[in-house]
């Protein structure tokens, strides 16, 4: 992806936001999902910028950059659908197209109807040449208590490449809304490969928001897995 294309994309995003009364799926976490779906007929563009390194003490020339661009559309009052385009840049290499993802979310009930608010999440991951396939399944369980939010995401990752491989993961978020434009929290995530914890801070309104979070290891990490990650999410309402 060259610089001219990136500038054009950013200008289009800003123009769409400035010329419309838009709604966006404002998120408080970078790894954990909350009890949220896009409103019917609304659309949002999100960008994910993630830096990962297997060695915090030697990040120079040892850090991977991942970029995701997501178009998310509210299909009904409870159901939304999203398309992701995924890019990666490894040390000393150029940015490359990595693949695409298709994601669906469905909210059950209304907020506060159950002890924990439930949402189902299904995501398909594919390569451009259809050589690899994956399915990610999540159950989002969340609760708002005043300005405080907590969310739990049990996750199953299925790799469908000849033989089916299954990995169990999780993400947990705790967040407090300090001001109407500012929130702060803590996230936990992990799998059998290792476990992480890190702070999260969010800023913005529904039409334009950003959330920044990091992940530090709290257990031994398998070789080749990141020892440190940082992620920035930006959301812009389009319609």
pLDDT in tens, 51-63: 999 988 888 888 9
- Please name the residue ranges forming H helices in the chain: 3-18
The backbone torsions φ and ψ at residue 222, rounded to the nearest 5 degrees and listed phi first, read -60, 150
Mean pLDDT, residues 65-89 taken together: 97
Q: pTM of the full predicted structure?
A: 0.87
Contact 204, 227 (CB under 8 A): no
| Residue keyed to tokens 């040390």 | 91
Mean pLDDT, residues 184-193 taken together: 97
As a whole-number percent, the residues of the chain with pLDDT over 90 amount to 78
CB atoms within 10 A of CB 178: 12
The backbone torsions φ and ψ at residue 10, rounded to the nearest 5 degrees and listed phi first, read -65, -45
Q: How confident is the model at residue 15 (pLDDT cuts 50, 70, 90)?
A: very low
Rg (CA), the chain: 18
- Coil, helix or strand for 115? coil
């Amino acid at each position: 992806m060259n610089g001219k294309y990136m500038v054009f994309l950013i200008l289009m995003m800003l123009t769409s936001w400035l010329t419309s009364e838009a709604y966006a799926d404002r998120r408080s976490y970078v790894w954990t999902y909350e009890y949220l779906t896009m409103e019917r007929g609304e659309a949002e563009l999100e960008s994910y910028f993630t830096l990962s390194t297997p060695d915090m003490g030697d990040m120079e020339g040892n850090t991977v950059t991942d970029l995701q661009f997501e178009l998310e559309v509210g299909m009904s009052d409870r159901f939304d659908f999203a398309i992701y385009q995924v890019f990666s840049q490894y040390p000393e290499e150029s940015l490359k197209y990595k693949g695409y993802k298709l994601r669906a979310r469905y909210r059950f009930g209304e907020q506060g109807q159950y002890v924990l608010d439930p949402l189902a999440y299904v995501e398909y991951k594919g390569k451009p040449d259809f050589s690899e396939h994956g399915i990610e399944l999540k159950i989002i369980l969340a609760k708002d208590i005043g300005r405080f939010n907590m969310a739990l995401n049990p996750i199953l990752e299925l790799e469908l490449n000849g033989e089916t491989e299954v990995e169990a993961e999780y993400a947990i978020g705790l967040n407090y809304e300090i001001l109407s434009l500012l929130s702060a929290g803590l996230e936990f995530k992990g799998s059998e490969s290792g476990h992480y914890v890190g702070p999260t801070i969010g800023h913005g309104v529904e039409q334009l928001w950003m959330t920044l979070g990091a992940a530090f290891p709290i257990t031994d990490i398998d070789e080749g897995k990141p020892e440190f990650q940082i992620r920035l999410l930006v959301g812009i309402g389009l319609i």
